[in-house]
Chains A and B, each alone.
Chain A
Amino acid sequence: MLTERSPDGDRAPFVARIAGVGRSLPPTHLTTDALMATTRHHTHIDLERLTGIHERRVSVGDEDSLSLAVGAARDCLARSGRRPEEIDLVVSCSITKYRDGLVQWVEPPMSLEVARAIGATHATTFDVSNACAGTLTGVLIANNWVRRGAIRRALVVSGEYISRVGTNGARHVRTIMSRELASLTLGDAGGAVLVERAEDTDGGIDLVGFTTVADHSRLCLAYPARAHAGARMFTKARAIHQAAIADTPTLLREAMDAAGVHIDEIDHVIPHQTSARAIRTGMRETTAALGAAPRNPAVVTVDRYGNTASTTHVVALVEELDAGRLRAGDRVALVALASGLEIGVALFTVDEGLEACRAHHDRLGRRGLG
């Protein structure tokens, strides 16, 4: 596993912290019942019971990948009280790069458009593409640059207008064994994380680690649909779940050992949100393999937002922060699982500045702007 632990000697003398998070959600709710009513075939699938997903947010043409990314970036800056000119790096990490409806932009990079839209005039920019692990891959890179002192502040953003994959999947799903069933779990969201140099070491990022178990690289493939706008996605969900169950405990143990942290010292585990049942099974197996459990049950937001691809961790972080469940001193593990097969973990401690992002948002809310 490629791991970076902080602090780490002369070659990476600084510690990075999560200084802010922000998200952007389309206002339209789509329940699983309503989505399943659109399937072309009579599927007899109780998707809500299978996945625990009650509803997800979807763009009805009012949002696209760029607008969701920009919305999340602005929310993140407002919550953290940072000005866009203070940002040295903007990394965009989404799978979808739709602008102007369902037009996927390949060049120029999305990150440049986001940086310009929010006024991050001094930021350098590039895009990362790593399926649902994109945002944590961006955090890994940002953490590296901040730790070395190459930059002071990075904004990692993603906007996923990916529900169209579900619209396309609904035309083809016939049975519970369909390889497009996972398409129906997707929802739209934007997420942003501000990574900056910690001036003291009370909180901050302890470790980010990643590996790619490429023997399983072809278990989830997505590409443009032949006959419809948007993409189609083909997933061998059971095989992914089995590989994840087999590999994640080994990698988590490696990461925890590198960080010098025991699993029962972790307050909150935020896994990638695919289905409530998969999350609970995965946590049970991981706990059994590691011989200890984190202090709280795994965070589940997939019931409200579905699988929002590369933005799930940020959507959940904001949810937990706003609910007052993330307090200064709490240690959080973000666990990525994505097509590739990408497995990663980001371990960080909430500091007062991050906890205060919620308070700031409350003030915005009282003025009716939140």
Chain B
Amino acid sequence: MPTTIDSVAAASADRWRRRSAHALADTVARRAIRQAGLVPADIDLLINAGLYHDRHLGEPALAALIQEDIGANPEDPHADGHGTFSFDVANGSCGMLTGLQIADGFLRAGTIGHALIVASDSRPGRRLAPGFPFGATGAAIVCGWRPEGHGIQDLRFTESATGDAMADPTGGLRATMGFADGRHRLEIVETPEFAAAAAAAAGEVAAKLLADHGLRPGDVELVGANPLTDAFLDALAARLGIDRSRMAAPRGRQAAHTAGLGLALVAAAPDGRLPETTALLVSAGAGPVAGAALLC
């Protein structure tokens, strides 16, 4: 009884450098819905997992603005409509996978028919975020459900004690917005230890997931992983014993953040439809927090 990934869409790199995260989110959301053969009103649940957007809006959830922009049941409730529910999640670069996990829960329970998970980041203003390390990238995933066949068989995350032994309680990545010298400033600090810590956490949760389903690393035909940096992907490949060539590595990936998982999937499925292979989705972020999903 799996949740299906019906469509993925992504946008990134130079073409979008001047686009806001919000505009990117709208674009990829519309594209993913169209590719899935749906219309916006079919989306019951809209989750945004992006973190860095225009002026660092605190409320409402960016998901509500995206819902209005794409026209997913934005109107006042009426008798023959079912509405759309929108909210944001924040889980560092694991956000899209967290969104998938939440959507999977409502799809499995039969509460909803389709969910859209979207994530995008771009520099939230020149003054606010000088030296912003991430490029403008966005990605969206449309999920559905079917009683049997290819889909998400299992999805899990690390426990909070993961990384407790580390000297740095952030797992090597920290992003804060503070006020100093008369203005707010976003500060993102990533230490060289982050990639190894993230890969260790991700490798542990992914290896356990495979073992619990009686699979060996060689059985995995595709890995979509985030972060997309070489340091992380190399370390993860080594830990899992999976050939690096099976890890999706899209163009312009080094600058991706929360949208990285979507970018990886689009690299493996340029038409937006994932091949029905044994695939592993892996994400790791600050903390470290890591999660893995098995598709087969």
Contact = CB atoms under 8 A, between A and B. Distances in A.
Interface of A: 1-4, 8-9, 11-12, 90, 95-96, 102-109, 112, 115-116, 120-134, 137, 141, 144-145, 147-148, 150, 210-215, 217-218, 220-231, 233, 243, 246-247, 250-251, 254, 338-342
B76 A215 contact: yes
A4 B109 contact: yes
A25 to B, nearest CB: 22
Contacts of B56: 223-224
Given A218-B65, A340-B60, A105 B175 contact: yes
Contacts of B110: 8-9, 11-12
B164 A148 contact: no
Given A121-B161, A141-B105, A107 B92 contact: yes
Residue among A122, A130, A243 with most chain B CB within 10 A: A130
B175 A106 contact: yes
Contacts of B157: 124-126
A101 to B, nearest CB: 8
Contacts of A145: 105
Please list the 9 inter-chain residue pairs (A to B) with the smallest Cβ-Cβ separation, ordered nearest first. Answer: A115-B160, A214-B68, A229-B179, A214-B74, A211-B83, A108-B286, A130-B87, A339-B60, A340-B64
Given A141-B102, A148-B109, A120 B87 contact: no
B89 A129 contact: yes
Contacts of A125: 91, 157, 160, 287, 289
Given A1-B77, A107-B174, A144-B106, A123 B90 contact: no
Q: Taking each of B56, B59, B169, B177, which has the highest tally of chain A beta carbons within 10 Å of its own beta carbon?
A: B59
In which size bucket is the chain B interface?
A: 35 or more
A214 B65 contact: yes
B126 to A, nearest CB: 13
Given A223-B58, A225-B179, A342-B86, 13 more contacts: A2-B45, A2-B106, A3-B111, A4-B109, A11-B108, A108-B289, A121-B160, A126-B98, A214-B73, A217-B64, A218-B60, A221-B59, A225-B184
Interface of B: 1, 44-46, 51-52, 55-61, 63-65, 67-68, 72-78, 82-92, 94, 98, 102, 105-106, 108-112, 128, 156-161, 164, 169-171, 173-179, 182-184, 186, 188, 285-287, 289
Contacts of B67: 212, 214, 217
B14 to A, nearest CB: 25
Contacts of A106: 51-52, 90, 175-177, 186
Contacts of B183: 226-227
A106 B50 CA distance: 11
A127 B178 contact: no
Looking at A102, A103, A129, A134, the one whose CB has the most chain B CB atoms below 10 A away is A129
A214 B218 CA distance: 46
A215 B75 contact: yes
A120 to B, nearest CB: 6
Contacts of B178: 102-104
B287 A109 contact: yes
11 contacts: A107-B188, A109-B289, A123-B159, A124-B157, A130-B60, A131-B61, A215-B76, A217-B67, A224-B184, A340-B60, A340-B87
Contacts of A148: 105, 108-109
Contacts of B287: 108-109, 112, 125
A240 to B, nearest CB: 11
A144 B109 contact: yes
Nearest to B156: A124
Contact of B92 (A109, A132, A218, A222): A109
